[in-house]
Structure 1
């Protein structure tokens, strides 16, 4: 009996200790939950504060005297290589923003030297970026313009002799990057587009028309 009683006492002690430990954990759990809620509230407050700061900075930028220049430089970058309708849309956006800005209060240069430096630097950076973007398009435009000029010159020269030498066509294909078939087709189309009858042919046609008519009338 004593052994059984001792065993039961031991089990009761273990159970009591377990219950005590569980009770001790309860405040800890509630404490961690409270801490988690505090952290969430702090994070939300931090995000709201950051949003307020961003909105304030955005308002300062939009009211700065260099903002139109900044917006124009940005739109110029977007217009590089854009179709005409998209470029016109960007121009309309700039005009609309410029009108809104004129109707609102603006700051003066010198009120915020750090912002002045930022605006000047960013405008210069966008100008360089636009120049880098436009360079390949300008080179391509110049290339096609030169190619068109060479083809037109050769075609005009060939109209006198009515024939273009194969050596000229080969050289033209090498300089323009076109193949021989494209060069030949271009010359054929140009001859059809700019073909004019010679004076002898015109006289022959007139003689056939009026000569035949004169004979019939007589």
Structure 2
């Protein structure tokens, strides 16, 4: 008779689960997960819409932060010209999903920028109006007819 090997599951003091005393399975899983994440990052960075995505993001930041982002902008432009040379890492189904995601993200950032610009323009119009009202209040009342009557 053949006896099936039973896996012994133990819980260590650090709450890691080991199978047959082998803790390498957990480490291998973490390494594989990290490798997959790195591959996904490279796939996104080499996507044709990645430069547009970064530029859209920077446009939103510039709108909020102004000149602070200029130095970052130069560095990012230099980095976006780098396209890793590697074959398609994922299936065409995944690539289609990535294309859809990148397009949707770019459109969303464009809409966010438009909404922020509109709000900023409304704020500036309000500030300018209030400034003109304050100027009118602070200017001395110059009325030539009232000055001539008093003399």
TM range (shorter): 0.5 to 0.7
1:9 aligned residue: none
Displacement of 1:183 after TM fit?
4.6
**Number of aligned residues:** 124
Kept in 2: contact 1:79–1:87 (CA 8 A): yes
Displacement of 1:107 after TM fit?
7.7
1:97 matches 2:79: yes
Of structures 1 and 2, the one scoring higher in RCO (CA 8 A, sep 6+) is 2
Kept in 1: contact 2:9–2:18 (CA 8 A): no
Kept in 2: contact 1:61–1:67 (CA 8 A): yes
Unpaired runs of 5+ in structure 1? 1-29, 152-171, 173-177, 192-218
Kept in 2: contact 1:73–1:127 (CA 8 A): yes
The structure that has the greater radius of gyration is: 1
Taking structure 1 as reference, are residues 60 and 145 closer, same or farther at Cα in structure 2, changes over 3 Å only?
same
Displacement of 1:77 after TM fit?
1.8
Mapping of 1:43-192 within 5 angstroms?
43-84=26-67, 86-101=68-83, 104-105=84-85, 112-147=95-130, 151=132, 172=133, 183-185=136-138, 187=139
Q: Name whichever structure is richer in helix by fraction.
A: 1
1:32 aligned residue: 10
Structure 1 distance, partners of 2:46, 2:126, is: 43
Taking structure 1 as reference, are residues 114 and 107 closer, same or farther at Cα in structure 2, changes over 3 Å only?
farther
Kept in 2: contact 1:63–1:106 (CA 8 A): no
Taking structure 1 as reference, are residues 44 and 64 closer, same or farther at Cα in structure 2, changes over 3 Å only?
same
TM-score (norm 1): 0.46
